Structure 1
């Protein structure tokens, strides 16, 4: 991931520079999916800079990652939400193109790969934990129970099996509270949750939530009862104080390395996707708790976990066992997660150990930030026009960004000086999404408190 800055002087801190492993592409190309995701773009750039050939499975020309110069081949694929057809395509691709490395870029693929790992392993090189492991981490009910057993702090959460039980639990929790899906795996609505601020509104909100948030039948059959939402105590700090710990955990005890970050802006504000992050120290105790969790369930690979500060403790909200959105931030800070996944899938233990050792030598604490610069500026300008942001707040955010850019400490989600097309494609993709769903864009990005 390139710096978002003018030419830096020799004294300025620089992002991690990684040498290629050879003069040209190395063996075993990497098949990437979900080119609309920033994590996929970060992986493609990371792999390409390490000399790994990248094949991109795509469904839309506007997806930013498909335009990266590091993508050497593009193939049409069905949308992953059409799960059976996507799996058939994936297996057929593997038969025709045996030897690709395959790694999960989203929750759906993490589960689909785990559920069909024996078939996929015949044609792909994988670093894939079993299905039960993936469900233990991505099903919030299973994760909450595991955290209770391991002594990992979480927010108060209830998983009622009936509507009546949900109403009783709501009275005990009090308001405000959140209605949330148990998992995002093949959730057709892609809804992250709903805030309920009045007790009398809960019965209707619960009924409407169940109706509006359905799972693909393939997953609903695999996890009976998953359609019933969870209730969680609302924590205001989750709006702008999420602590993220991300990295790589291998099968061997010493293969652990991580980076910390604070999510300082998300949209929508209460339940949204991170837009801006700041570098933060790795909390050794929190990392140790994640290692215990991973060892308990048998997870290995790339991870990202989110914690919210509440009542004097960092409480686990989510664990992502896959590539993830702001992965470019970690890669830019000397943690080449895409290449680590490739090395692990190839069974290159010595290469993986060397990559982990190099990553541990990275000097933290220089004040790096991460954001989608053009999108941040768009949201700021629209919120100012709508009267939802004071001029001084807008100036604060712009100053935050430009001061770090001037120091060479800003990492952009999509723009890179040596790979410009994805940045332009991302701008067009975001405008297209806003025009296609104008009401949703205005409510969540512009008019949201």
Structure 2
């Protein structure tokens, strides 16, 4: 799928190795993923041959003119690891030369880390302690690492039985937040449908009755949005856990509201946050791309780490330095032995995900919430889907999104409203 790769489509003060292709690795059924499209464009514009794993031949990623070939491989992310590794190796043989792996989900990042020796021949990727990405993607593992290294994070409990949930409810201060313990496992019946705010003891106990003998949830301190700011960090770290590209920004809107995927964000310089992220990565010895979500709690003046994605974030194209380097380009340059040019980030730049920002905007206006530190005017805008030099992914997204997407947005809104009425729970 995809047309011929456009060479020299962008002017940057560095040259990528065009003999080393990139492969977008994704497991699970989520065809409308703008992050994968962004990575294909980012490296493809440098003349790097790009390949991608897709659910079918008609995804936005498969329609990109910068894609050499789509490998159609429907997966759920819950398959046997050996089967997934063998599938990757088959793709590697079909590409016919070493390729840089670009995982877009935790399942892929964890699999690559835990099977490095098997994948090292046909693929290039950052080497990391095999168990570290799984631990970082786990809410409990991340919480333990934060406590161990003195990184602020919300207070949390990890109940193993319904009785432990009752004991927690008897002494907890509500509202609290419930999340799936192992967020990177796409279970057929997760305990909660994403981050869920629970306002009352009765609401928690009503929800918990459906969680079974092993709840599989984290119950977390609620950080009220009126006293908090949502920040994001994207970076690439080399084999010595040294940042070769590091960016900070603020999340303005997400969908579902206040708890989901970034819909609108700005680049904002934050040296304190950049230093905190770099110190934590050095302490744990991580190598590769990271996507962090933090909330600044104005009540105690601390940045509290909420999520650590040990892979490329969907909104990574928000961030680029003055030399034209983003985190995906930084990884490709580093893994192919090339210098990664330094430069200041594009402060004030904005990122908009067209298909979810409009409903998010309407929801945020109703709530009256505004984001501190967001610039009054953007210095430039990066759209997630539309690009003048690669329009087909946007058209494909619209064709796949309009009817089922609108129905999905409505269902999310209805679930949100019903939960508030019946359980005191709001996503």
TM category (shorter chain) comes to 0.7 to 0.9
Measured at CA, do residues 344 and 171 of structure 1 come closer, stay the same or move farther in structure 2, by a change above 3 Å? farther
Kept after mapping to 2: 8 A contact 1:18/1:49:
no
1:38 aligns with 2:34: yes
Instruction: Tell me the residue number matched to 1:419.
Output: 390
Instruction: Tell me the residue number matched to 1:262.
Output: 250
Measured at CA, do residues 278 and 56 of structure 1 come closer, stay the same or move farther in structure 2, by a change above 3 Å? same
Instruction: Tell me the residue number matched to 1:204.
Output: 206
Displacement of 1:185 = 1.6
1:338 aligns with 2:338: no
Instruction: Tell me the residue number matched to 2:4.
Output: none
Structure 2 CA distance for aligned equivalents of residues 312 and 201 of structure 1: 30
Displacement of 1:19 = 5.3
State the aligned residue count.
Answer: 396
Q: Which structure ranks higher in relative contact order (CA pairs < 8 Å, sequence separation ≥ 6)?
A: 1
Normalised by the length of structure 1, the TM-score is: 0.78
Structure 2 CA distance for aligned equivalents of residues 55 and 147 of structure 1: 36
Structure 1 CA distance for aligned equivalents of residues 23 and 287 of structure 2: 19
List per-residue Cα deviations over 1:348-399 (Å, max 9, x = no partner).
1xx2xx32x33xx23543x221112354346657x6xxxx956x989x99xx
Alignment of 1:152-301 (within 5 A): 152-188=151-187, 189=189, 191-210=193-212, 228-237=216-225, 241-252=229-240, 254-284=242-272, 286-301=273-288
Alignment of 1:365-376 (within 5 A): 365=347, 367-373=348-354, 375-376=356-357
Structure 2 CA distance for aligned equivalents of residues 104 and 196 of structure 1: 33
Measured at CA, do residues 289 and 442 of structure 1 come closer, stay the same or move farther in structure 2, by a change above 3 Å? closer
List per-residue Cα deviations over 1:84-134 (Å, max 9, x = no partner).
344332122224434222132111101111222221113222224233111
Kept after mapping to 2: 8 A contact 1:238/1:308:
no
Structure 2 CA distance for aligned equivalents of residues 374 and 146 of structure 1: 35
> 89, 92, 110: which one pairs with 1:91?
89
Kept after mapping to 2: 8 A contact 1:258/1:282:
no
Kept after mapping to 2: 8 A contact 1:245/1:287:
yes
Displacement of 1:332 = 7.4
Displacement of 1:240 = 7.9
Kept after mapping to 1: 8 A contact 2:245/2:326:
no
1:52 match: secondary structure: coil
Instruction: Tell me the residue number matched to 1:110.
Output: 109
Kept after mapping to 1: 8 A contact 2:294/2:305:
yes
Structure 2 CA distance for aligned equivalents of residues 62 and 73 of structure 1: 12
Instruction: Tell me the residue number matched to 1:21.
Output: 15
Measured at CA, do residues 320 and 267 of structure 1 come closer, stay the same or move farther in structure 2, by a change above 3 Å? same
Structure 1 CA distance for aligned equivalents of residues 307 and 356 of structure 2: 25
Structure 1 CA distance for aligned equivalents of residues 146 and 43 of structure 2: 34
Displacement of 1:441 = 4.2
Structure 1 CA distance for aligned equivalents of residues 320 and 141 of structure 2: 30
> 73, 77, 81: which one pairs with 2:73?
77
Instruction: Tell me the residue number matched to 2:7.
Output: none
Structure 2 gaps, min length 5: 1-9, 419-425
Structure 2 CA distance for aligned equivalents of residues 401 and 61 of structure 1: 40
Structure 2 CA distance for aligned equivalents of residues 71 and 440 of structure 1: 33
Measured at CA, do residues 253 and 297 of structure 1 come closer, stay the same or move farther in structure 2, by a change above 3 Å? closer
Measured at CA, do residues 76 and 61 of structure 1 come closer, stay the same or move farther in structure 2, by a change above 3 Å? closer
Normalised by the length of structure 2, the TM-score is: 0.82
Instruction: Tell me the residue number matched to 1:125.
Output: 124
Cα-Cα RMSD: 3.3
Displacement of 1:17 = 4.9
Displacement of 1:156 = 0.9
Measured at CA, do residues 446 and 262 of structure 1 come closer, stay the same or move farther in structure 2, by a change above 3 Å? farther
Measured at CA, do residues 111 and 86 of structure 1 come closer, stay the same or move farther in structure 2, by a change above 3 Å? same
Instruction: Tell me the residue number matched to 2:306.
Output: 317
Kept after mapping to 2: 8 A contact 1:30/1:53:
yes
Structure 1 CA distance for aligned equivalents of residues 263 and 13 of structure 2: 29
Instruction: Tell me the residue number matched to 2:53.
Output: 57
Displacement of 1:297 = 2.7
Higher helix share: 1
Question: Which runs of at least 4 in structure 1 moved beyond 6 Å after TM superposition?
Answer: 444-449
